[in-house]
């Protein structure tokens, strides 16, 4: 069991590592709101990773079939959601919190935005499944005895986002506010491009297949 917990912790770390909309979102929140805002956003990513881990363990076959049968719909709707997220980051001034120190620099919205971002890309569950297979993690039971494994995945994800947000929140002190604003806008543009690519792929399959 201890070995499985260690493997699950590594799954959580590795699942969080790929550079994508979530990483860019946490980066932007860390630069604009500091470590707490970035980490609070990262907790939203941890929530979706944990949810996908539960699904991977308890409903692997059903999930794979659902994603395969609804791939086009998932790509189009997920792509649109990511485009909207990127547009919000591109045209909104997230650094206004740094100008107004009267309130906290983080809120439940940061967490919910990360959850929405994670849920808009259910293909992330395939990464979780692949990592489970790579580390040879295949719990035989399908009851509460797998709770330590699921919690270990959460722990790995939380650890990654804690240090990720900490590093970039420290870096922000070396930049001017105008520079941070442009970094945020560029991050939003990158997320929009990712969303457009995802939605376009879905549309192409819908039209030509």
Q: What is the dihedral of CA 115, 120, 125, 126, to 10 degrees?
A: -150
pLDDT of residue 93: 63
* Entry pTM: 0.77
The per-residue pLDDT for 164 is: 94
Q: What is the pLDDT of residues 139-185, one digit of tens each?
A: 665 666 788 989 999 999 999 999 999 998 888 878 777 777 787 78
Closest C-alpha among 35, 16, 37, 38 to residue 27: 38
Rounded CA-CA distance 63/74 in Å is 13
Q: How far apart are alpha carbons 61 and 65 in whole angstroms?
A: 6
pLDDT tens-digit profile of 71-119?
Answer: 888 889 888 988 888 888 788 765 555 555 445 566 788 899 899 888 8
Query: How much is the pLDDT for 140?
Result: 62
152 vs 112: CA distance, rounded Å = 22
The percent of residues in the chain predicted with pLDDT above 70, rounded, is 86
User: Phi and psi dihedrals of 101, rounded to 5?
Assistant: -95, 15
């Amino acid at each position: 069991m201890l070995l499985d917990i260690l493997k699950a912790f590594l799954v959580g770390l590795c699942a969080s590592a790929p550079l994508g909309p979530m990483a860019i979102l946490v980066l932007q929140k860390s630069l604009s709101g500091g470590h707490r805002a970035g980490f609070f956003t990262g907790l939203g990513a941890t929530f979706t990773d944990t949810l996908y881990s539960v699904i991977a363990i308890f409903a692997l076959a059903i999930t794979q079939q659902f994603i395969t049968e609804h791939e086009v719909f998932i790509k189009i709707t997920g792509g649109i959601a990511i485009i909207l997220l990127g547009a919000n980051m591109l045209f909104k001034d997230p650094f206004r919190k740094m100008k107004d120190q009267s309130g906290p620099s983080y809120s439940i919205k940061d967490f919910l935005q990360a959850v929405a971002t994670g849920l808009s890309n259910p293909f992330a569950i395939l990464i979780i499944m692949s990592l489970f297979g790579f580390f040879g993690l295949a719990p035989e039971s399908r009851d509460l005895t797998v709770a330590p494994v699921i919690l270990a995945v959460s722990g790995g994800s939380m650890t990654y986002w804690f240090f990720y947000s900490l590093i970039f929140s420290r870096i922000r002190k070396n930049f001017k506010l105008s520079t941070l604003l442009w970094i945020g806008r560029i991050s939003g543009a990158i997320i929009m491009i990712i969303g457009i690519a995802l939605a376009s792929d879905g549309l192409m399959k819908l039209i030509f297949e």
